[in-house]
Amino acid sequence: MLGRRIRHTKRYREIVNVLVKNGFSHFLFRAGLIDRGLTSGEGSDEINASMKSVGKRLRQALQELGPTAIKLGQIASTRYDTLPQEVTSELEKLQDHIAVLDFFHIQNTIETEMEAPLENSFAHVDREPLATASIGQVHTARLLSGEEVVVKVQRPGLKPKMETDLEILRNIGNMLEERTAWAQRYRVCDIIDELSETLRNELDYILEGRNGELIAQQFDNEAFVKFPEIYWELTTEKVLTMEKISGIKVSNNEALEHEGYDRKIIAKRLADAMLKQILDNGFFHADPHSGNVHILPNNTIAFLDFGETGHVSDNLKRHFAAIIVNLHQGDSSGMIKTFSRMDLIDERTDIEALKRDLDKLHQQYENVKLKDLSLGRIIIGIFNVVYHHYIRVPTEMVIISKAILTLEGVLGRLDPEFSLSRAAEPFARKLMLKRYHPWEILRHSMHEIGENIDILTDLPRDFKDVMSVLKKGRVGLDINVKHVNEVMRRLDKISNRIAFSILMLAFSIIMAGLIVGLAVVGQNTVIWDLPIIEIGAIIALLMFLMMVFIIIRSNRM
């Protein structure tokens, strides 16, 4: 515990010194992280007010602070919903100046992880790196069996340093939220937790390999999309050995033209592959930049590096598809309904003001040609609008938007006429239509019925608990009069649905009792010359269909 505290103190001082040197002293003072005395003196001039200057100084500071800060900065560069564009564009440059690790450290890590000399695992490992990154370094190699592979090796001693940095960062986040209103509004601690989780996942190469295989399974029956094979016997948490894919980088138009590849076909296949991952399967490659996409013969797309992946739930897929359709239709009201279904709207949100701002955003893109529309930029524009209206943006949506923005940059170089917005619409509409498939409706209806039965079962106990609390005088009411009519309408709908469910349940019990009773006594189902059971079954079916219709119309499927 003492050693950990000493490490934290030492590292904290390093962080503060670097930030002060790069001009963030007044910010640190206002946040209560340093004393006033440190805000003056050489190297502590307040940074220029322009966001570009802030971004540049911040990038320099993160580079000085090492791998953890660099990686956090790279991840933060994707948070277009919370950081200004001038800052994110500077943070995107953090990958450009990564120190090359000496081969001695690479060899030592491989031998430690494999518990054997290097020559017992590989016939050859190239001493010069193929690529360098803040977390690991990639080398080409050859297996003992002769296959050409690439080996990704984690930088030594990285995990303990990162854990220390992340703990310090979380403490700073807590202090900021306690002392500043802007940190509370932007939920700084939540953002730090998201960044930390992403970073910890990237430290596990076994997880990265499994993610690659999971995405590859989506394309088992497609010949024009390829993924590298993982050599699990030579893969650990810190060493990842993969099949070497020798293709042309997707951004190298000159080489693609020379080899006779069709860039329009490549753009279409790449877009469809990414949209299938996001909107069809919900598990996707979250960093499809040009270095991670290579082109093989027959215009085949090869995806590399699965350190960053995204997961989208079925509900979020449907909501994201609805947003895309709303964008194409310029339907601000529909978009607000989607946010409401996602339970993102805060009680402080002014719905009319939100609609006006979304309408203004739509008007900006109304006369823009479809090929010039950036789906990612429009989504970021929506994030910027809704954020100011206290609407929370799910992390998964941010990851999707980042992947789409990256993809659009790659597609724009391949085929300037290609529109990802147009390519995404059929996927979105298919997802929306799937929602109204009879089997989907039946499945959701049965789920709703099950929930209503649970509510009815728990109702007596809940009522008893409420009455007990009321008798003890422990209830305080805080009703926002501005929304009281809306609240009463919703309560009225809930009570009507519960009453209807009770009626339907009671009728079903009566019908079941009649069927069983008549079967026991051996009577037929004709009473008073009327086919009672048949009529009852028809009534029960009509009641069921009516309830399904009501649920669908309420947009709560």
Which ranges of 34-91 would DSSP assign to H, the alpha helix?
51-65, 67-76, 85-91
Pairing mode, strands 300-303 and 225-226: parallel
Name the token pair of 395: 């992390």
Number of Cβ atoms within 10 Å of the Cβ of 336: 20
Whole-model pTM? Answer: 0.69
Q: Which residue has the tokens 């693609």?
A: 256
Residue 420 to residue 406: CA distance in whole angstroms: 11
- At residue 399, the pLDDT reads 83
**Cβ contact 205:240 at 8 Å:** yes
CA distance 361 to 141: 51
Identify which of 39, 482, 398 has the alpha carbon closest to the alpha carbon of residue 187: 398
d(CA 134, CA 68): 8
Q: How many CB atoms lie within 10 A of CB 60?
A: 15
DSSP state of 136: E
Task: Report the alpha-carbon distance of residue 139 to residue 133 in Å, rounded.
Answer: 12
**pLDDT at residue 321 in the model:** 79
- Spatial distance between the Cα atoms of 142 and 244, rounded to a whole number of angstroms: 9
For 260-283, the DSSP string reads T--HHHHHHHHHHHHHIIIIIISE
The answer to whether the CB of 423 falls within 8 A of the CB of 414 is no
- C-alpha neighbours within 13 Å on the C-beta side of residue 82: 24
One DSSP character per residue, 138-178 reads EEEEEETTS-EEEEEEEPTTHHHHHHHHHHHHHHHHHHHHH
Task: Give the other-Cβ count within 10 Å of 433's Cβ.
Answer: 11
Measured CA to CA, the distance from residue 543 to residue 321 in angstroms comes to 31
Give the list of residues 6+ apart from residue 165 with CB closer than 8 angstroms, or none: 11, 65, 68, 69, 72
Of 361, 279, 374, 284, nearest to 317 (Cα)?
279
Other Cβ atoms closer than 10 A to 35: 9
Q: Which two tokens stand for residue 288?
A: 């499809």
Q: Which of 104, 106, 150 minimizes the C-alpha distance to 238?
A: 106
Alpha-helical regions (H) of 115-157 = 118-121
Chain mean position to CA 359: 26
Q: pLDDT tens, position by position, for the chain (557 residues)?
A: 555 666 678 888 888 888 888 877 777 766 666 665 555 544 444 444 577 788 888 888 888 888 778 877 877 776 665 677 777 778 777 765 677 889 999 999 999 999 999 999 999 999 999 988 888 899 999 999 999 999 999 999 888 888 888 888 888 888 878 877 767 766 778 778 877 887 888 889 999 999 999 999 999 988 999 999 999 999 999 999 999 998 999 989 999 999 999 999 999 999 999 999 998 898 999 989 888 999 999 999 999 989 889 888 888 888 877 877 777 777 888 888 888 887 777 777 888 888 888 888 877 776 666 566 677 777 777 877 877 777 777 778 878 888 888 898 899 889 988 988 888 888 877 777 766 555 555 555 555 555 555 565 666 676 666 666 666 665 555 545 444 555 555 566 666 666 666 666 666 666 666 565 555 555 555 555 556 566 666 776 676 666 666 655 554 44
User: Looking at residue 231, what is its pLDDT?
Assistant: 97
Q: Count Cβ atoms below 10 Å from residue 158 Cβ, excluding itself.
A: 18
Structure tokens at 256: 């693609």
Q: How many residues does the chain have?
A: 557
